[in-house]
Structure 1
């Protein structure tokens, strides 16, 4: 196997072109400390000094051995690389040592260049040597030895660069070196060797005046800073330029050697890259699959600004660099730049030709010809081309290479659909970091000690940043510049100031500014919808709700939402619901406040509230068509209703929209839409009751009561007090139940509402039943029955008959109890009432049959009742019936069936937070476990 170890950049290891995961920075440092002396023994003490310096741990040898053991596991010893123990030290043994380690390959090429008299060969060797450098050597490592070794390597590459320029000057180069040497002299302003090369290149480019001016500036600086004139060689060159010495020109007839240029344009690898394992694996899998089919690979990474697209692309590119021996091209297309237009493809192509070493004289004038030359040059090369920050697919398409050997990675805030459909690009949407990944990122930036010292503050930061890498990076940067400030301070700022806490002097790391670049690229219509989505109630939104919010037809709003999704400002889940990241939503809300009028916002909120209210009302009518209805005001003009086909569709819609419906009521409270407040509570009451959600029922009806009192609506106040009393009953708060029900009965009698009185007596009966005051409960149940009988209310007549029968059964009066319950069942079936009345009555008859020894009849009643409850998605009363069903199974010695029924009842009671019932069932299960299985 071919083994390659990299030190001239991030410390890496590749086996047959595949990256090997080396573990921690400390383990990479151990490998580097061995690799610089590959093949030679490094004493253990020297190795520890290199890795830890003065901070060597107390058990340094043991820790060192642990790191080496880890490296031995990941480096395949049988295939040409091995770490061996020899006479008190360790040695890294690699087949073909010079070629396996890039640093030693660099040294070998430089030595061969110095040993030849052929300047053309020297240019080729030194060009190849310098192409091995991938940025900062030993990237990501720290320590005294690392800093010293890195400085030494920098000096070596500088010397090799000087040698290469000298060789190129000797073979006749001049003008084409000017740009390169201008940068070098700016980096090393007092380096006389670089200055001399620059003077000669300028002279050969016909810029003698510029050469003389540069010499004068250098002389003045040397005198000012060092108190010395330039050295003799530079002074002599200056005189020869003044005299226009003909020997300084390129030798007559000399052939300029075209150096072998291998482009290495990747930016430095991100120093604190975290997570993204799934995304990295997806990119690699795409590369592997395409290689098998011999096709050009295009991966399009999409995501919001600041989500980490560039970091992912560059990190992956560095990991896979060995797969692309012919070079790597990189360009920022500036698709969403604050200070310039997106870069034209023609400009990019011209820059790529320069990077590929094409002489200016060989570059065609016509842009199309330049593009053709570019495609020809890279057609058969294994190159990686990273096109970062693309504005749209049209900007990218002219930059795609010919042939099938290259790989292209594109990043953009937009979904580049054109690349996917026309060029088979593999689309990858980048999401936020997980909570664990976000915490790891903060730990890498701030250190373990600081993060573990404030776990609560770190948890708040992770939550408030929502896994947004740029937000986490900004907070970490602030914390690093204020090392004594508690992390809780930054969490408080982020909580109180929102996006304002993520502003920065650098536009590239200022989250509001980064998001503004995407916002400015939207159409006016998209900007308006974006702002309205920021103030919409709830965590997500459906297409019909968005249509009502914006007042746009569904077909048009769908197009606008797709545009926002393509701009990575909006997400869509597997169910087609649209979502916004919390930080993007804050940005949208801010824009809504500044860019939309109060009238626009208010109208939008009324429309979306109407949508939720009227659709929830329609859903409730499907769930319980016999329930006494209320009258809604007509909806807004631009309201777009959601049509529901049947009871299952109603339950599904209420389940999906439940968080938004709760938020819609809170919005109605804030906006002073008092009628909508209590009507939303009414519209969700059946659903909440059947789903066993008493706490949500209570919260909505408390808001509903306050709204009714504000409106002075006595009838609604009675309703709210009665329902709150019933809810308190279910949650075991008997005093509160009695207080609300007493108030409801007083108000109902005051306004002479006999129907409300009947309903209230019915609930009061349940309160006394719960407190085991059965006689008082029966009194109110009979009172409710008498009232319902005179009101032509067949549903509630049946319910009241069942309630009286149930109260009688609890007191042991089974015959009159059975008679009342059978009469209730007859009324329900005669009038074809909804199944809930029938199910409750069957449950009562099951109890009566159980208590009178008719177990088979009881079993039939309970099973029938349970089936009806399940058809209704009624989980609250289903839990009670399951409990009763377990009782009858237990009485029949069917212990497996009893256990199954009680276990399901226990799960429902716990989900409904009915602690007392759950405890009783758990005791029954515990007792059953001591019996043998049937």
Structure 2
């Protein structure tokens, strides 16, 4: 639905909603607009907006809605018993549509064609888009019938006028939408016949007759049966032009007089002319059936060079990725290699017809193109295929077999010898052709940014591309290198030279694939993708839709099993089928991902809300429970949290040891963060902070400080919704910890003192001890070493009172560290030595590494550089073993300091260079540059 513009009323024929408040408020405007100029009673408005069960205050609410609409300058007037929208009927596109349609019914054909084209052109989608309720649904369905009726009227006029160039494409799409509408079927049969596609027309009649019998238990009506009979009899009136003269064939002719069809004609060829001497065979034509290559083809030089001029090659890829473009570009470039001709067939494996072309039809088309007399063509399909192989044996021919559904559809079209070359394009990977018939496969991916830029330049000109460079960059990014998407955008921009490219980028950003829709299904990305989806089984389509809404940029098999609720083996089989259909890609790590546009299309797959919600719940629980296990493996001494059991079907991934846990976190990191945002959107506030907790150890060990801060900020928002002081204490504390990591010390101290106050108020001794430890760190970073030491001593007393050896060891190391920072080295050494003994006794290896780092610092600052180097090396080895790359880098830098202080310049250079490389890998560019400067200052 669209609001604004003409008289600022509601355009009810279709479009997208503008911002006019709640849906029911927009429904009020629609309910008035359909009866523009006439009073609509309050009772009728209430029924239209709320149905037969309105709320108690429906009248008051209706009055409020009308008042708001009137403030938006919509001309709504209160009259006796109701409201009226005072506007010219021509200002409402529904009434404009009806007026144009009614005028066309009494006009001559040329005028009627113009009026109906304008009427049909007003539609931009379903009517009353964005509104629900019984009235809106019923009105939408009724208006859809009016639209179809007008489209059929328009088609009949165009058929009478002979304007049927694009009718087959349009009617194929319409027939797919209305498979039981006999009027549409009559039109499509007529258009197919006039396009020379007699076999296709007869096949479509057979399908419609079967559908009517299966779905309605009836036979085709008189009009459809009559059209079928006229086609069987080759009624010349079906080709009549407006003047009543017999029309010539609608198949275009090349200068040489040969058909220039884009696929083999399935109509029987004409008999030899009467003046051909008996017994003298007519010369067989050399078929030249290649369609023209699209003008916007650019790039793909590497792929073109990889295509082999011999044997069979399968070009596989997603719908719209440019398979046919590539095949035709190569075919035209290499046509001189095939003097005996080039054959082309579109097998319609994916398209509006819904049913792929049967192989015998394609074989018969090839035989016709090769000039075989119909009397010589055997009846048996296998014999026809054998005859085809005999005719092309030893010939140098090129066969382009486009849009194949599966291997079985292609096999009868393969020549028997090695002299011919076959290019097959398909959205499926056709493994049977590669394994059984030795075909090569070329998997086609998206265009590079440079190739996409070249496409825009070729289509729009260098000046426009240069003048709107930023918008072009945005469009390339939004299209993701998808050739069909790029071609559609470039075509629209070319057709509207005054339209800013930034406007097209905005539409694509907001609407995704919907912005790339078009009346021509072959130029509509959503339609092209829908053909791929239609070819899936119900289970595959369901999983395809769920993958479109899965959190994270990619997904692994275990998470996908959790998402779908299927057993892992079944999930793997479905994912493999989607990969074969080129709707999914699997990378070298075994991760599955979709192109962004395919993913946004997949997300619109109809899935019941309850099933969608359950799937998202499962995949979040998969991440939560697996990550919980991972953190417990990485830091078994961390105070655990309590989780609810995972949702049925979630199946957490087993992690046998810390190394496996760290590897899993590395792989799933982005997915876990996305799962946290998904949990927040679902209102699962407890899960949100729990996911942040599961990530903390990994974040700190890998140096993902900013991700850690973002996760805890999200957790803080969630904790505000929970009336749980223990949770809020923990979240304030860990948010403070994350803030210290990124240097935001003042904000960190604020959260830490709030956590301390909550812990003291609830007598939460565990959190009090942890807050004191973190406050020590934050205050030390602010330069208040004395206060840092005070809080460290508070933490030590609490952990001793709790009889927590691991916590006590950490606190001992804290006291020793801050004492060392103040120059109190004897006390520092004593506490750190005690901490090291406790850590080793309880096998807390991370604590052991941090304490060795503290002892090294003390040794360095008391002049014992040999001891410092030894402790730093031991700490560094432990950090690396534990996967703590952040701490390993910092320890390596301090190791270099000790080497330099002891006069070992070469060793210092090696340690600093290693630390700089690690800082750079962690995205800590300033630290890396600082070390590079120090390296530059070292003597050679």
State the Cα deviation string for residues 494-540 of structure 1 (Å, max 9, x = none).
11122221011111101111111111111111111111111111111
2:637 is matched with 626
- Say which SS state the counterpart of residue 388 (structure 1) adopts: strand
Cα deviation for residue 281 of structure 1 reads: 2.2
1:271 is matched with 295
Would you say 1:773 and 2:773 are equivalent positions?
no
Within 5 Å, which residues of 2 pair with 1:99-138? none
C-alpha separation between the residues in 1 aligned to 2:517 and 2:644? 45
Cα deviation for residue 415 of structure 1 reads: 1.5
Would you say 1:827 and 2:841 are equivalent positions?
no
- Say which SS state the counterpart of residue 300 (structure 1) adopts: strand
C-alpha separation between the residues in 2 aligned to 1:220 and 1:214? 5
1:637 is matched with 648
1:454 is matched with 468
Would you say 1:846 and 2:895 are equivalent positions?
no
Which of these two proteins has the greater Rg computed from alpha carbons?
Answer: 1
Q: In the superposition, relative to structure 1, how do residues 917 and 342 fare at CA in structure 2: closer, same or farther (>3 Å)? A: closer
C-alpha separation between the residues in 1 aligned to 2:324 and 2:358? 20
Would you say 1:345 and 2:356 are equivalent positions?
no
Cα deviation for residue 487 of structure 1 reads: 0.5
Q: In the superposition, relative to structure 1, how do residues 640 and 218 fare at CA in structure 2: closer, same or farther (>3 Å)? A: closer
State the Cα deviation string for residues 751-796 of structure 1 (Å, max 9, x = none).
1111211111111111221122221111111111111111111112
C-alpha separation between the residues in 2 aligned to 1:706 and 1:183? 64
- Which residue, 548, 559, 570 being the options, matches 2:573? 559
Q: What count of residue pairs does the alignment treat as equivalent? A: 687
Contact 1:708 1:714 in 2 (8 A): no
Would you say 1:478 and 2:489 are equivalent positions?
no
In angstroms, what is the RMSD of aligned CA positions? 2.5
Q: In the superposition, relative to structure 1, how do residues 914 and 790 fare at CA in structure 2: closer, same or farther (>3 Å)? A: farther
C-alpha separation between the residues in 1 aligned to 2:295 and 2:562? 47
2:628 is matched with 617
1:603 is matched with 614
Cα deviation for residue 183 of structure 1 reads: 10
C-alpha separation between the residues in 2 aligned to 1:561 and 1:216? 54
Within 5 Å, which residues of 2 pair with 1:861-880? 861-880=871-890
Structure 2 length normalisation: TM-score?
0.70
Moved more, 817-826 or 561-570: 561-570
C-alpha separation between the residues in 1 aligned to 2:610 and 2:764? 40
2:905 is matched with 895
- Say which SS state the counterpart of residue 387 (structure 1) adopts: strand
Contact 2:236 2:246 in 1 (8 A): no
C-alpha separation between the residues in 2 aligned to 1:259 and 1:220? 28
- Say which SS state the counterpart of residue 720 (structure 2) adopts: helix
- Which residue, 853, 859, 865 being the options, matches 2:869? 859
Cα deviation for residue 832 of structure 1 reads: 2.0
State the Cα deviation string for residues 235-278 of structure 1 (Å, max 9, x = none).
xxxxxxxxxxxxx9945955545214222111112322112223
Moved more, 386-395 or 806-815: 806-815
State the Cα deviation string for residues 202-232 of structure 1 (Å, max 9, x = none).
xxxxx9x989x9999799999xxxxxxxxxx
C-alpha separation between the residues in 1 aligned to 2:242 and 2:768? 105
Q: In the superposition, relative to structure 1, how do residues 215 and 801 fare at CA in structure 2: closer, same or farther (>3 Å)? A: closer
Q: In the superposition, relative to structure 1, how do residues 368 and 917 fare at CA in structure 2: closer, same or farther (>3 Å)? A: closer
Q: In the superposition, relative to structure 1, how do residues 416 and 913 fare at CA in structure 2: closer, same or farther (>3 Å)? A: closer
- Which residue, 647, 657, 665 being the options, matches 1:654? 665
1:487 is matched with 501
Would you say 1:571 and 2:585 are equivalent positions?
yes
2:914 is matched with 904
Would you say 1:882 and 2:892 are equivalent positions?
yes
C-alpha separation between the residues in 1 aligned to 2:350 and 2:438? 24
State the Cα deviation string for residues 775-822 of structure 1 (Å, max 9, x = none).
111111111111111111111211111111111212222222111111
2:821 is matched with 810
State the Cα deviation string for residues 12-44 of structure 1 (Å, max 9, x = none).
xxxxxxxxxxxxxxxxxxxxxxxxxxxxxxxxx
1:305 is matched with 319
Would you say 1:392 and 2:385 are equivalent positions?
no
C-alpha separation between the residues in 1 aligned to 2:241 and 2:649? 76
Contact 2:637 2:806 in 1 (8 A): yes
C-alpha separation between the residues in 2 aligned to 1:440 and 1:648? 46
Q: In the superposition, relative to structure 1, how do residues 338 and 825 fare at CA in structure 2: closer, same or farther (>3 Å)? A: same
State the Cα deviation string for residues 454-493 of structure 1 (Å, max 9, x = none).
1111111011111111111111111011101111010011
C-alpha separation between the residues in 1 aligned to 2:648 and 2:847? 38
Would you say 1:740 and 2:740 are equivalent positions?
no
Contact 2:633 2:658 in 1 (8 A): yes
- Which residue, 708, 718, 732 being the options, matches 1:707? 718
C-alpha separation between the residues in 2 aligned to 1:504 and 1:410? 27
Structure 1 length normalisation: TM-score?
0.71
Would you say 1:520 and 2:534 are equivalent positions?
yes
Contact 1:325 1:383 in 2 (8 A): yes
State the Cα deviation string for residues 908-928 of structure 1 (Å, max 9, x = none).
445556576556534422321
Gaps of 5+ in 2: 1-193, 197-232, 249-271
State the Cα deviation string for residues 383-423 of structure 1 (Å, max 9, x = none).
11111001111111111111221111111111211112211
1:587 is matched with 601
Moved more, 780-789 or 248-257: 248-257
Moved more, 360-369 or 749-758: 360-369
Contact 1:705 1:716 in 2 (8 A): no
2:564 is matched with 550
Q: In the superposition, relative to structure 1, how do residues 898 and 218 fare at CA in structure 2: closer, same or farther (>3 Å)? A: same
- Which residue, 846, 850, 869 being the options, matches 1:836? 846
Within 5 Å, which residues of 2 pair with 1:202-351? 250=274, 254-284=278-308, 287=309, 297-339=311-353, 341-351=355-365
Would you say 1:685 and 2:699 are equivalent positions?
no
2:216 is matched with none
C-alpha separation between the residues in 1 aligned to 2:241 and 2:513? 51
Q: In the superposition, relative to structure 1, how do residues 700 and 819 fare at CA in structure 2: closer, same or farther (>3 Å)? A: same
Cα deviation for residue 551 of structure 1 reads: 0.9
Cα deviation for residue 444 of structure 1 reads: 0.8
C-alpha separation between the residues in 1 aligned to 2:240 and 2:599? 54
Contact 1:330 1:386 in 2 (8 A): yes
Cα deviation for residue 558 of structure 1 reads: 1.4
Q: In the superposition, relative to structure 1, how do residues 221 and 330 fare at CA in structure 2: closer, same or farther (>3 Å)? A: closer
